[in-house]
Amino acid sequence: MNQVIDCLCSRRSVRSYSSRQVNLDDLQAVLRAGTFAATAHGRQDPWIVAVQNPDIIRRLVAMNAAVMGTTDNPYYGAPTIILVFASDPSVWPNSLYDGALVLGNMMNAAHSLGLASCWINREREMFATDEGRDLMRQFGLPDGLIGIGALSIGYADGEPKAPKERKAGYSRVIA
């Protein structure tokens, strides 16, 4: 099988990470892959922020857990969190799709480098709060953005689960 297709088919979401930090070269490669995701009209609307600072990670964990209504760590203890932001859909209707493609590219790039990842939600709600907007200013982001999603990223603590069987009729060709 083609190496790229094999990578795409073997990637799994990981929900348990070792404390070992992602090295900067690998992180930069993942971020670069995100910047090459397709965006509508080549607008490059999304913004990517990688967080390895333990104090900021603790804030993100608390904010996300509060939205989720839990005390568990929604980022599963990953040592790096990658956040994706984009314009409000009322300003740019394709922002959610563009941000989703950025996240997908980064998940697959991470896997190709031997890193584990998991797509995390609730960033839209987190960054709509005063605390979230304050963090966005600290990150140097422009006003008017919304949180699209995040990735937990790091080294898996254990083996990923086997893939679920693909549903019948998932894809089809109409000739």
Identify the structural domains of the chain with CATH numbers, from first to last. Answer: 15-154 (3.40.109.10)
Listed residue (79, 66, 72) closest to 123, CA to CA? 66
CB atoms within 10 A of CB 171: 6
- Output the six-digit token pair for 144: 């008017």
Whether 146 contacts 124, CB under 8 Å: yes
Report pLDDT for 7: 86
How far apart CA 149 and CA 99 sit, in angstroms, is 8
Residue for token pair 């600072």: 53
Low-confidence spans in the chain with pLDDT less than 50: none
Report pLDDT for 1: 67
Report pLDDT for 145: 97
